[in-house]
Structure 1
Amino acid sequence: MTKISLPLALVAAASFAVMSAVVAAPPAKTGTTSKGAVLTDAKGMTLYTFDKDADGKSACNGPCATNWPVLKAEAGDKDGDGYTIITRDDGSKQWAYKGKPLYTFAKDQKPGDITGDGFLNGAWHLAMP
């Protein structure tokens, strides 16, 4: 039977806890706009949802995705806290919140901008926490 010293066991346990916290961190944050709390990307840019997306699938491809950049999921990212990872038509991965794919808007210039809210006859909406 192998004996592990107490300090080594504590370091291992602490390392596992830190690694678990890093992996489990949500892909979006909460920011404040003139319309209240919204989900944001890591840079603080407002996130949006699109009415034409259905069943956890993005309908925003090609030129749409140029104007509405997706919140990309990276290899090794994991679902959790209402966030899921969907596969786009091109095979890339995108974050969704409560089943709704998440996007930024190319015309938003700074954190707190919400110029995409209501765009395209009301089809784009602020992603709310």
Structure 2
Amino acid sequence: MNQILLGPPSLRRSPRRRGGRAVVSSALVLLSVVGMSACGKTIDIGDSGDQPATPSASGTQAPNSLGAPSAGGDNSALQVVDSTAKDAGLNGNGGTVTGTVVQETPPKWVQMTAVAAPLSSPHLINVNQATLYRFDKDTADPSTSNCNDACAAKWPPVTIEEGGKVYLAGVDPENVGSVRRQDGNLQITVGGWPVYRFANDVKPGDLNGQGVDNTWFAVGPTGDKVTQ
């Protein structure tokens, strides 16, 4: 049986706290440090559970994602890359918006990075340094999002276009998958948990969504719930 190579150990370890710096500084430093040590393996992950593994021109294809297949047996895919977007020569944010701005179309690519400060455990941010969250009323097995309509306006799902790439720093590619939402969009999952932003997080490093309704918490690099 073929073994999927997940990249160097540096990407499988959670970043360490680097003193009492501000959240934004910590994020920037970790983005830079982890990015330099990353390699470029790519894993294609589809969101249908009944597709066989086949070789891919961009890397090794996993049998299926952590997301549940849609009712129509959708075979769309995303690509999970265990290096940073910067290493791939990309600038900008791939189309990821911030704050209350509506994400009208899914981003072409998404960056997820694990940072240590200021919470008790590493948690994920996106390329705009916005905190990423998970919802206790969702499920991870099977992956299901129960945040739609008005909820999704307040907690925008982290979506990606069909076949888009997810770039990682400090996150094991094996933990990343996708789930088909009610509106048909492809939402990224970590450890099976659908991942979201919070519309009221305006500045990089904001954690205004932490603990809201005692059901929303920052998501860790394995999909774990991070609390203070």
When normalised by structure 1's length, the TM-score is 0.75
Matched residue, 2:80:
24
Within 1, Cα distance between the matches of 2:165 and 2:212?
31
What count of residue pairs does the alignment treat as equivalent? 112
When normalised by structure 2's length, the TM-score is 0.44
Radius of gyration: which is bigger?
Answer: 1
Matched residue, 1:53:
138
The structure with more helix, counted as a fraction of residues: 1
Matched residue, 1:97:
190
Within 2, Cα distance between the matches of 1:46 and 1:73?
17
Within 2, Cα distance between the matches of 1:33 and 1:109?
18
Q: Deviations over 1:58-116 (max 9, x none)?
A: 00000000000111122113684311110001111100000100000011111211110
Cα deviation for residue 28 of structure 1 reads 1.3
Cα deviation for residue 35 of structure 1 reads 1.0
Matched residue, 2:218:
126
Pairing partner for 2:119 from 17, 26, 35:
35
Within 2, Cα distance between the matches of 1:17 and 1:97?
18
SS of aligned partner of 2:210: coil
Within 2, Cα distance between the matches of 1:111 and 1:56?
28
Once the two structures are aligned, what percentage of the paired residues are identical? 33
Pairing partner for 1:71 from 158, 166, 178:
158
SS of aligned partner of 2:178: strand
Cα deviation for residue 32 of structure 1 reads 4.1
Root-mean-square deviation over aligned CA pairs: 2.5
Point out where structure 2 has 5 or more consecutive residues left out of the alignment.
1-39, 43-56, 60-78, 83-110, 167-172, 222-228
- Describe the shift of the 1:99–1:50 C-alpha distance in structure 2 as closer, same or farther (beyond 3 A): same
SS of aligned partner of 1:65: helix
Higher relative contact order (CA 8 A, sep 6+): 1
Matched residue, 2:178:
85
SS of aligned partner of 2:208: coil
